[in-house]
Every structure is written in structure tokens, then in C-alpha cells.
Chains A and B, each alone.
Chain A
Amino acid sequence: MALFEKFKSGLQKTRQVLNTDVRDLFKAGAILDEEMLEEFEGRLIRSDMGVEAADEIVAELRKQHLGRTVDPQAIAETVNAKLRDLLSGEDRAEGGEEENADPLTRLNLNPDGPTVILVSGVNGVGKTTSIAKLAKLLTDAGQSVVLSAGDTFRAAAVEQLTMWAGRIGCEIVTGEANSDPASVAHRGAARAKELGADVLILDTAGRLQTQTNLMNELGKIRRVVGKQIDGAPHESLLVIDATTGQNGLSQAEKFSEAAGCTGIVLSKLDGSAKGGVVIPIRRRMSIPVKFVGLGEGLGDLAVFEPEKFVRALEI
């Protein structure tokens, strides 16, 4: 399956950084010294996991292996265990055994009406495209989906989502340029209820987490849909671009505050970037990655599984 191949090749890159190299760095028989550890730290940092998380992994290696004869297998295991630890958080995913887990299991579904999914993130990370992909995934799983074109700010953002809706064949609610995004969300919720739809996905304009007014707007959208549909939004997905560096932490923190994020979509993992920033995010804020973006097409969204991700790192 093409998609799975892509996912594997994405992981491959991370594996190359973290593990394939472990073997040429930590040669069997040599004594593990500080120099090796420093070089290994560099490899970890190049994945964008940041100094702190990298140091934590290195510290673990130091504790267990420093001054001893290198056993590459044991080292790889230490690294993987630590990574698994960092990535899984408390709510470790259970039974992620099948190759392609059901996307529906990743979502907190509303049993009594439309499930509302709010999607937010900084500018240009891939929100609109991820929404289209998710809508496609859900439609294919037999769900009826309504999209709400809440980016009333950026030029042609509404047209962009409208074109995707056309391709997927799902319902879309739009508003005037520069109109209140909360009112578009309101009408989206009304329409979803009226149609008896299974899922409503709310697109939002890109915003930087430092723009307080715009961040507050997300809270308003939440409140508006919450009044119409019990418990809405049931999911609040933050899209983070895999190329993002340490600013991803500030994004996760501030968007969580404003939009109560329940999960991350890690987009653009098909490039050369590793997306390692999700590691410190998971570590500090315990927001799990739920989906990964692997391309610009409608089929390019995969379910993220921490266990599998780390297992795939093993040689």
C-alpha cells in the first residue's frame, strides 16, 4: 500500500538519524566514552527534539553504559525504551497491533450527535489540507462529514476548502470574507445537526500563538459550538509542521491554553524534517500525536502510533 510505504519511508529517516547511525557510532567492543555520547547528542538534536530531551536520553545512556564495552543492541534498546517513554505519556495506546489502525479509534466521538473537531495551528502548517485528508478518511469509513470554512481572513482560504469539499463530495458551510469565524462555526454546527451528520470539522485561520486577540477567538469558537452541541468540540487538533523547531513547544503550550488541544496532527513528515519536536511536547504537555501528514494528496494522512513508531526505530 502506497501510503504505508510512505509512512515507513518517513520513519526510515528518523531511524537513520537515531539508530542506523547508532551502529557506526557505537562500535561493538569499544569503550563508551563522553565523546561518543556528545556525538550521539548531536544526532538526537538534529531530529528537533531539543537539548533537554536529547540530554535526557544521553543521561540514560551515560548511566547505563558509560565506561563499559559497547553493546550496540543494548544501547539501541536503552534509546528506544527512553524514546517510547518520552512519546507515550501515561495514556499509552493499547493494542496498536494492526498495520493500519482505525482512524475512528483515535477520535473522541460524540455518541449523541455530530462529533465536532476543531483544527488550529500557526500559519501555513497544513490545517486546511489536513482537514481535507481527515474528512476523506472519515468519509471512506462511512461517516458523513460537514466542513466549516472558518478561515475568513486569508485570501482564497474559503475557496481552497471549498475545492477540497467538492473533491471529497462532502457538505461545506462558508461565510463572507472577514466575517466572524465564530458565526461560521455556529452555522456549521446548525447545519451538521440539521443534516444529522456524524462529524463536523472546523477550519480556522492560521495564527501565531503570540497574537492574544486571535488566540481568544479560538476560545469564542469553542464556546459557540459548545452551546449548540453537548461537549463540543469533542476533539481539538493542533497541526504542527514537521519542519518546526523549538517554537513548536510554545505553539503547543499556547494553543492548548486557548483551544484545549486534545491531539496533534504532525504534517509534512514526507520531507526531510524529522518532526522530533513532538517529543518534548509530549514530555511536557502530554498531548499525543494522533495523525501524521505524508503528502499533499487526499490519501496522505496516517494514524500515528507511538508504540509502532518507536518499534519501527528498532533495528
Chain B
Amino acid sequence: MSFIDRGRLTEATVREGMKQVRQALLEADVAYDVAQDFTKRVAEQAVGDRVLKSLKPSEQIVGIVYRELVTLMGGDPDSDFQPSSPAAQIGVKRDGVTVLMMCGLQGAGKTTTCGKLARALKKDGFAPLLVAADLQRPAAIEQLRTLGEQVGVPVYTEDPASSTPVKVCANGVKEAKRRGDVRVVILDTAGRLGVDEELMKELSAIDRKVGPDAAFLVADAMTGQDAVNSAKAFNEALELDGVVLTKMDGDTRGGAALSIKAVTGVPLKFVGTGETLDGLEAFHPDRMAGRILGGGDMATLLEKAQREFDADEMAEQQARMAEGKFTLLDFQKAMGQIGKLGSMRSVMKMIPGMGQLADMDPDADMDGEVRRVGAMIDSMTQDERLNPDRIDRSRRNRIAAGSGVQPHEVNKLLKDFKGMSGMMQSMSGLGMRDRMAAVKGLAGQMSANPGGQIQQRKQSTKADQDLAKLRAERKRKKQLAKKSRKKNR
């Protein structure tokens, strides 16, 4: 192509690619100035990069952008993200009482997040005490008290008519010290606007009086352009130590994460993924980067998959699929790879069309399902994994007993698997794009027939392509992957 200058990315190519990236960032609610600066900087860096033959320039640019986004949000695009424990994220001291203060706009999710953190800390053996310092919103104290009860954590409260937020916080910390066993005090403050000087001063007053060890900003993932203004205001009043991004269980792209990080430099620590108190996860820069760029864009998932999936293993599986020899053993391995990518639900959400499926039944425990299936396959003999047809009633009962499920669940697994391996077989002959279309089709099928079995799809004639060709392809892919890994260093 003429606009590629001797195998290097030219300014024109990069500019064209960046236009799309900028649009994507703005649609994801990344603040205008942040998106502007980011694309400019990355474009400057990318010009002159060697063109990767395996990728279209536009794809390569998205790849570069993805890596930059991951880095900017505190991750490393070349290695698996390993989140630290909640206590470490908060910076719980080795002994004594650590005080964590929560702040944010009205309705951001502060109180709920207090409950979630308390639950997580308690589970890890750091006894928390919750302090109800929102004396503003009707029944805010009652709300925190209820959450405390739900997780069995004490809540310190005072009568709002005769106290002030500063007093409640100071007394709460005293109470924690008096109790002796408390390791972390979490202060739930009232929601306030960054432009409300009086209330921002109140926050600083609590900060001065109590001297918390850490202050977290709780921000709604659906926030638009204003994220920068409010984050700046809170950071100026408190010197934030961390950010929690809530309501990530929705379909928002969450550009606010990038905006907040870019303008404050404060690390993103957790994300809220549900209204119940188990809905708290560590913040993953790579997932977030994919989501911001995402919008049904598969590129990021593929890129991730490229890194995470052992190229060898995958090619092996593909070959087996094409031969119609994809077994439960392969399935077990594939599930392990999915596990690496994050929770099943979040993986599904990144695939266009599958998001709906993941949301179809918010109560369905997708990851639990993966675990159960894993347990069933674990309980099989090697012979059974390779030849599931041999599993008769007595074997079925044994597997069910071994994995703690009902025999009919084993039956369902076998049936599902049969349907799936047929589908995989037909998919293996397709290119990546068509394969995604097939997955989409499958998603459509499954939502049209919720809870139903995966139906056997008509086999593609292309699936019958010979094995030799596939193996050659696999060799080529391996080399390319190696090359691109090197390049990306």
C-alpha cells in the first residue's frame, strides 16, 4: 500500500487511525481534553513504528492504543495483572487501627462500597468498624446499619440531630481503639458536589481532625465529562489515595476511569459490580482498557486472547476440532484458558451479542457454572473424558457423586458438550471474523431459547479442509505471534 512508507507507520496512516480512536474514546465518555492529549501523544509515538505484516495498520494502531491505555491505568500490557488483596490495596497497617475515609458525589455508591469493603476485610481477618458520618441524607445511617448487619460488622452511629460529621468520625475512631480488636475503620461520608464549597470544607475538616490513613473517591462508572471536575475537586480537598469505580455491571464503557486517572494520577483500586455486597472486584487495567475501546469491538478481546492463550495449545485444539476429536479433556483445558481471561460473565460481555446473554439472567451464577462443570470433568476418568459416549448410567451417578451435583446435571453437560463440539467443528474451518459471527449466531440462538441446549449446527463444508493445511497455518501463526510479541516489547 502506497501510504505505508517502507514498512513504517506514516503520519497520515496514524492520523487516520487516531481519528477513530478519538471518536471511540469520546463515545466512551473519556473527557474531551484527556482524549485529545492521549491521542496526540500516542500518535507521535506510533509514527515510525514498524508495520506488522500480520495486522492492518488500523488494527496495529488500536493495539498500540490498547497497550498505552493499560499502562496509563496502572497495568502492564505484557504480563498478567495480579491484584493485591483488599487489605493491601487499602494499605492496612501491620498493627493498630487504619482509618479509611470514603468520599464522592451523591448517589455514587459510597455506602454500598463501605459495606463491600467491610465484608472483604472481615473475610480476610481484618476486623472492620463502619462509621455512619452521613447525617444529611434521610435514612443514610439506617442504610449503613442494615449493611453492617448483613455482613456482621459493627456500625458506629450518633444521633444526627445533636452531632456533626466531624464529631462522628472522631468518636468512631476512638470507639475502634477502645474496642481493641478493630483493624480498619471505614468512614461513610455524605455525598457532596465538588462545587459545594461549604461541604468540601467539611470534608477537609474531617481530614484534619481525624487524619485518615487513606481516602478513597467513589465514582459512578456512568459519569460523563464532569468526572474530571469532581475528581479534581475531591483530590484537592483530600489528597486521594485510591478510586473505586461503581456500577460497572451495566453497559457503560467507563471512560471516566481514564479521565480520573489522567487528571489526578490517583490509582484505581476497585470496581463495583453489583448492588449486593459481594459485588466488589479489583480494578483490572487491561479489562478496563478493552472496555473503553470496546463497544462491540472484538479487537481487544482477540488481542488479549492472543496473549493469554498458549498459541500452541490453541492450534492443537483447533486441529482436534477439525478432526472432530475435540474431547472433554480439551474442553477442560479451554475452560482453564477462559478462567485466565477473567470471569466468564465478563468475558462474555466483551463479545458482541454475548453481553445480552450474560445479562439474561443476572441471578445465574456463570462462574459457579464453570466451576461445577469443571468439577464434573475432574471426576471423570481419562477414558471417559476422551470417549464421553461410554458414560452410562452407573458411571454418570459416580461422576455426579464425585463432583457434588445431580446426575441430570452430568447428563446435561454431556448433551451440551455434544452440541458444542459439533459447533466448534464447523467453526474451526472459518476465519476469525466468521467465527465471531458464528458465536454471535449462537448467542442469538441461546437467547431465543434460554436455558435450552446448544443446538447442533449444520456443518460447514469448509470444515472438512485437510489437516495438513491446518498444521501449516498453525506454524505460520506461531511465528507471527512470536514476532509480534518481540515487536511489542
The answer to whether A105 has its CB under 8 Å from any CB of chain B is: no
The answer to whether A42 has its CB under 8 Å from any CB of chain B is: yes
Tell whether, in the assembled complex, residue B195 and residue A272 are in contact, meaning their CB atoms are under 8 Å apart: yes
Tell me, in angstroms, the Cα distance from A246 to B26 when the chains sit together. 9
Q: Which chain B residue lies CB-closest to A270?
A: B193
User: What is the CB-to-nearest-CB distance from B273 to chain A, in angstroms, rounded to a whole number?
Assistant: 11
Segment touching A, from B63-71, B356-364, B400-408, B467-475? B356-364
Known: A155-B147, A268-B106, A296-B136. A122 touches B247 (CB 8 A): yes
- B32's partner among A45, A208, A273 (CB-CB below 8 A) is A45
The answer to whether A115 has its CB under 8 Å from any CB of chain B is: no
The answer to whether A214 has its CB under 8 Å from any CB of chain B is: yes
- A46's partner among B32, B193, B251 (CB-CB below 8 A) is B32
Chain B 388-436 residues near chain A, CB threshold 8 A: none
Chain A: residues with Cβ within 8 Å of the partner, total of 48
Tell whether, in the assembled complex, residue A245 and residue B230 are in contact, meaning their CB atoms are under 8 Å apart: no
Tell whether, in the assembled complex, residue A273 and residue B226 are in contact, meaning their CB atoms are under 8 Å apart: yes
Q: Which chain B residue lies CB-closest to A245?
A: B224
User: Can you list 17 A-B pairs, Cβ within 8 angstroms, ordered by A?
Assistant: A48-B224, A50-B27, A124-B247, A156-B145, A159-B139, A160-B139, A162-B139, A163-B139, A243-B230, A245-B224, A247-B252, A247-B253, A271-B194, A271-B226, A272-B229, A273-B224, A276-B224
The answer to whether A250 has its CB under 8 Å from any CB of chain B is: yes
Chain A 193-218 residues near chain B, CB threshold 8 A: 206, 208-214
The answer to whether B109 has its CB under 8 Å from any CB of chain A is: yes
The answer to whether A305 has its CB under 8 Å from any CB of chain B is: no
The answer to whether A235 has its CB under 8 Å from any CB of chain B is: no
User: What is the CB-to-nearest-CB distance from B200 to chain A, in angstroms, rounded to a whole number?
Assistant: 12
The answer to whether B36 has its CB under 8 Å from any CB of chain A is: yes
Q: Which residues of B contact A271 (CB under 8 A)?
A: 105, 193-195, 226, 230
The answer to whether B250 has its CB under 8 Å from any CB of chain A is: yes
User: What is the CB-to-nearest-CB distance from A15 to chain B, in angstroms, rounded to a whole number?
Assistant: 16
- A154's partner among B36, B145, B250, B275 (CB-CB below 8 A) is B275
The answer to whether A307 has its CB under 8 Å from any CB of chain B is: no
Q: Which residues of B contact A281 (CB under 8 A)?
A: none
Q: Which chain B residue lies CB-closest to A124?
A: B107
- B26's partner among A45, A154, A210, A272 (CB-CB below 8 A) is A45
Tell me, in angstroms, the Cα distance from A156 to B145 when the chains sit together. 9
Tell me, in angstroms, the Cα distance from A211 to B249 when the chains sit together. 9
Q: Which residues of A contact B251 (CB under 8 A)?
A: 208-210, 247, 250
The answer to whether A7 has its CB under 8 Å from any CB of chain B is: no
Tell whether, in the assembled complex, residue A296 and residue B106 are in contact, meaning their CB atoms are under 8 Å apart: yes
Tell whether, in the assembled complex, residue B224 and residue A213 are in contact, meaning their CB atoms are under 8 Å apart: no
Tell me, in angstroms, the Cα distance from A296 to B229 when the chains sit together. 20
Chain A 121-157 residues near chain B, CB threshold 8 A: 122-126, 153-157
